[in-house]
Amino acid sequence: MEDYTPGMIDSYPTKLDDIKAIHEKFTLYGIKRNEILNVSDELLNYVISILQNEPVEAPDVPLEQWYSFLSLLDEQRITPFIYWKLKEMPSLYLPSKTIMDNIRLKYMNSAAISLQVEGQLKYILHRFESEGIDVLVLKGPGLAYGVYPQTASRSYNDIDLLIKPEDMPRSRVAMEGLGYDCLKKRYDISRDWYYEEQFLHKNDLKCRPVEIHWDLHPYSILGKMDFKQLYDRSDLIDSKDMKFRTLNTVDALIYSALHMGFIHCREVKLSWILDVDLLCKRLKEDDWIKLQKRSVETCARMALENSLIMTTKWTGLKIPSHFDDFSKWPEPTKNEVLAYSYVLQDSKRTFRSMKLKWPASFSMAKKAHILLNVGMDYIYDRIRK
């Protein structure tokens, strides 16, 4: 197990070398990992200047380079947000009309998806309410309505919901009643190994996939969530278009950090970095104190630290001066340090999953039962392919 050494937020301006260095460990998502970091420094500095609200003139590079760069931004799911920022800027800082039209089209597509999801989500939430199932809306829609300037500026492809574990069977029945197929029935295979079910609509291809979670992560070594506490602390989104409950700002930030800095730390998306940036900007001083304490309780302390460092590099996020030295934060638990060392190993993923998902409290009989069920599920998947 590696020793944990806390870091500190740098106060000097972002340098590309700093960004490239941190993503040697926390690689960026893409067909080729970190591919976006291999484009010209001019283009990278341009998008960073937009994210940091310190725009520079658009680089004069061939259209082919622009289109290639935009496709990489699409992989990171930040093009709609970039358009939202650009449309408020003087023409001096805008790319050519051809490129702006391309970016605007992607924003309009995101807006169309948002409208479609709005209707789909209303329908699902109404059914859950009628069945007496408490639900929290996570990630894409939850953040789009909760912290983004316009819902269309937060790109997403699916709907994520969180429920109590014991409500999963009823939730599946409710979704099937709405015309959805449950793809795997993983809750029945092993609710200890898995933490979500995926649903696709049988007839309406316009419907986005729906993921219903009975936990925020699958790693027993980090401890399990308390849904009641999360629900009692949750925020109510009550706009003219939508009404639902979502994680409060501190809990959403912890979950975003776990998602980016732990679960998917080898395939980080810039959209998640924007999530962290916008959530942090909503925090008051007492929220930062809660965040410190709760990040340790949820074993998200190290993931949060690394997520905050990545965010400051990309967006120029300013963390209050009395919270920017992580050596002064509460230390992570031994379990978290151990779990983080597993995640950052280059060993096979299956072996890492076993160490992360099987706490010492599991008996050998329970481990064997889980292994048998999960193994049979894996073999069945391979046969179907």
Q: What are phi and psi of 56, to 5 degrees?
A: -120, 170
Please calculate the CA angle 148-151-156 and round it to the nearest 5 degrees: 100
CB 138 within 8 A of CB 213: yes
The range of the structural domain enclosing residue 167 comes to 16-28+115-384
Q: Could you tell me whether strands 136-138 and 159-162 are parallel, antiparallel, or unpaired per DSSP bridges?
A: antiparallel
Q: What is the pLDDT of residue 225?
A: 87
Evaluate whether residue 135 is within a structural domain. yes
Higher pLDDT, 190 or 318: 318
Evaluate whether residue 41 is within a structural domain. no
Evaluate whether residue 173 is within a structural domain. yes
Please calculate the CA angle 366-371-374 and round it to the nearest 5 degrees: 120
Higher pLDDT, 205 or 350: 205
Output the average pLDDT for the chain.
90
CB 86 within 8 A of CB 103: yes
Evaluate whether residue 95 is within a structural domain. no
Evaluate whether residue 61 is within a structural domain. no
Evaluate whether residue 56 is within a structural domain. no
Handedness of CA 359, 364, 365, 370 (dihedral sign): positive
Report how many domains make up the chain: 1
pLDDT digits (tens, 9 = 90+) for 266-292: 999 999 999 999 999 999 999 999 999
Higher pLDDT, 222 or 198: 198
pLDDT of 322 above 70: yes
Q: Pick the closest to residue 188 from 212, 207, 169 (CA basis).
A: 169
Q: Pick the closest to residue 39 from 62, 74, 68 (CA basis).
A: 68
- pLDDT classification of 372: cutoffs 50, 70, 90: confident
CB 146 within 8 A of CB 136: no
CB 113 within 8 A of CB 208: yes
Percent of the chain, pLDDT > 90?
Answer: 75
Residue 301 and residue 336: Cα distance in Å, rounded? 8
- pLDDT classification of 14: cutoffs 50, 70, 90: low
Residue 145 and residue 159: Cα distance in Å, rounded? 13
Q: What are phi and psi of 237, to 5 degrees?
A: -90, 115
Mark 172-207 as b/e (b = at least 16 C-beta within 10 Å): bebbeebebebeeebbebbbbbbbbbebbbeeeeeb
| Domain CATH number, residue 324 | 3.30.460.40
Evaluate whether residue 40 is within a structural domain. no
pLDDT digits (tens, 9 = 90+) for 163-204: 999 999 999 999 999 999 999 899 988 888 889 999 999 999
Evaluate whether residue 104 is within a structural domain. no
pLDDT digits (tens, 9 = 90+) for 111-141: 999 999 999 999 999 999 999 999 999 999 9
Q: What is the pLDDT of residue 360?
A: 62
